[in-house]
Structure 1
Amino acid sequence: MARLPRLTVTGYPHHVILRGNNRQDIFKATADYQRMLDLLAEHSKVQGVDIHAYVLMSNHLHLLVTPQLDQALPKMMQAVGRSYVQVFNKVHGRTGTLWEGRYRSTLIQTDRYLLACMVYIDLNPVRAHMVAQPEDYVWSSHRHYIGQRSDRLVTPHALYWALGNTPFAREAAYAELVQAGISTDQQGALTDATLSGWALGDDRFKASLQVQTERRLSKTKAGRPFSKGDKPVPN
């Protein structure tokens, strides 16, 4: 069966996962982490991609982004992936592939999942038992959002700005969201949708999104494929 193209629509937030091949480390030294951040900063600006949140784990990374131009996200990921591997292989004396195939991504419903996705990303190092608190992990955008540093890579989404009328209020409100965490259902939905490539949101969201893309947004039910001559059965 032919592989579906990635679901990418300008102006919508996307959750992205890029993994190391066979779960091998993609970062071996501090310079590797910094190089990845530099490449993301460079190519997100060139291609027109807003990066709202990120975390660089030892063998994979997560991004929450909004592409502002057509094909901006795949162009950014391709440029970053190729440039990073070239330097990584040279520095660490290796050859061959580093990535587990293509990056995985899903398009998410903003009001329902964007803040939850940010929390999901921030809590990755805690779930992996790498740190006790998300602010203890250096290689994520969490410290930016709680006011502990300024991160040039980050473009806050409008939903973050709506958390408070002052920087302190926004930072405190977001810190509370992260401390509260997300439900197992939300965590599973974000993971499954990203790995499968199906849009994540309610039926109304998917219906409004479908008019903007020819690509299917969710897995079809078993049975005869729907054709244009068929009449939908009323709910």
Structure 2
Amino acid sequence: MARLARLTLAGQPHHLIQRGLNRQPIVADDVDRERLLAELRECAALHKVAVHAYILMDNHLHLLATPETGEGLSRMMQSLGRRYVAAFNKRHGRSGTLWDGRFRAAPLEAQAHLLACMRYIETNPQRLGHAIRPEDYRWSSAAHHLGRRRDPLVVDHALFWGMGNTPFEREAAYKAWLEQGVADDEARRLGEAALKGWPLGSASFLRAIGDTTERPVAPRRRGRPPRVRSE
């Protein structure tokens, strides 16, 4: 079966996942982590991609990002691969790819899913069993959104700004949002959408995307179509 073409849309937020080859680490230490995020910041700026939230774990990376063009995400990740993987290989005396194939991504209907996706990304360590508060995890955007530091990689989305009229109000509202946690069903939907490449949103959102592309926007039902009885 032919591989489904990746669907990326200009001006639309996307949840993106990049895993390490065979789930192996993509960073070995803090020097690698700092290098990867610095390269990501430059690649995002170069290809006009706004990164709203991120988390870098040992063997995978999550991004919530909006590209200005339909090719922006792919070009950003290609640039990141050329720059970071080459530097990683040289530093650690290895060769070959670091990534587990191409990155996975799915467009999100912002009003319905953007803040949920931010929470899903920034609470990733807790869901993986790490006993650490989101704002204390150094390699994510949580500290930025909770007012602990200014992160030059992050471009805040309007929906985050809408959580309060002042920085204090936004940070308090977002802290309460994170503390609600991520329901199992919400985590499953956000994760599966990105990994399988299906847009996540309402029926009207999917119809609007379907009008602009020949690519399917939802999985087809399995099995034979229902029989139509003759009168």
Output the TM-score relative to the length of structure 2.
0.94
User: In 2, Cα distance between the equivalents of 1:149 and 1:6?
Assistant: 34
Deviation sequence 1:8-46 (CA, Å, 0-9, x none) = 010111000000011111110111111111111101111
Q: Structure 2 matches for 1:43-192, cutoff 5 A?
A: 43-192=43-192
Aligned residue number for residue 216 of structure 1: 216
Alignment of 1:3-42 (within 5 A): 3-42=3-42
Question: Quick one: distance in 2 between partners of 1:81 and 1:220?
Answer: 33
- Partners in 1 of 2:152 and 2:175 — Cα distance? 20
Alignment pair present for 1:207 and 2:207: yes
Shift of 1:82: 2.0
SS in 2 for 1:189: helix
Q: Structure 1: 5+ residue runs without aligned partners?
A: 226-235
Over residues 146-180 of structure 1, what are the superposed CA-to-partner deviations in whole Å (9 max), with x where a residue is unaligned? Answer: 10000000001010010000011001101110011
Helix, strand or coil for the counterpart of 2:207? helix
1:38-96 per-position Cα deviation (integer Å, ceiling 9, x unaligned) = 11110111111000000000000100000012301100011101211100011011112
Q: Work out the percentage of aligned pairs sharing the same amino acid.
A: 49
* Per-residue deviation, 1:5: 1.2
1:212 Cα offset (Å): 2.3
How far apart in 2 are the matches of 1:76 and 1:94? 23
The one-letter amino acid of 2:218's match is: S
Tell me, in whole angstroms, the C-alpha distance in 1 between the residues paired with 2:148 and 2:223.
Answer: 53
Provide the C-alpha distance between the structure 2 equivalents of 1:80 and 1:96, rounded to a whole number of angstroms. Answer: 15
User: Aligned equivalents of 2:136 and 2:4: distance in 1?
Assistant: 39
Tell me what 1:228 maps to. Answer: none
Structure 1 counterpart of 2:211, which letter?
Answer: V
Q: Which amino acid aligns with 1:70?
A: G
CA distance in 2, matches of 1:213, 1:169: 40
Alpha-carbon distance between aligned partners in 1 of 2:49 and 2:193, rounded to the nearest angstrom: 21
Matching residue's letter, 2:94? R
1:131, 1:137 within 8 Å by CA — same for their partners in 2?
no
Alignment pair present for 1:193 and 2:174: no
Amino acid at match of 2:24: Q
* Structure-1 separation of matches of 2:133 and 2:223: 47
Instruction: Provide TM-score, normalisation by structure 1.
Output: 0.93
- AA aligned to 1:25 is P
Counterpart amino acid of residue 103 in structure 2: Y
Distance 2:211 2:192 in 1: 24
2:153 aligned counterpart, secondary structure = coil
Deviations 1:86-128 (A, max 9, x none): 0001101111221100101111111111000000001111112
Letter in 2 for 1:2: A
Question: How many equivalent pairs are there?
Answer: 225
Task: Structure 2: state its 5+ residue gaps.
Answer: 226-231
CA apart distance, 1:182? 2.0
Residue deviations 1:173-230, cap 9 Å, x none?
01110011121111000011111101111211101122222221111123679xxxxx
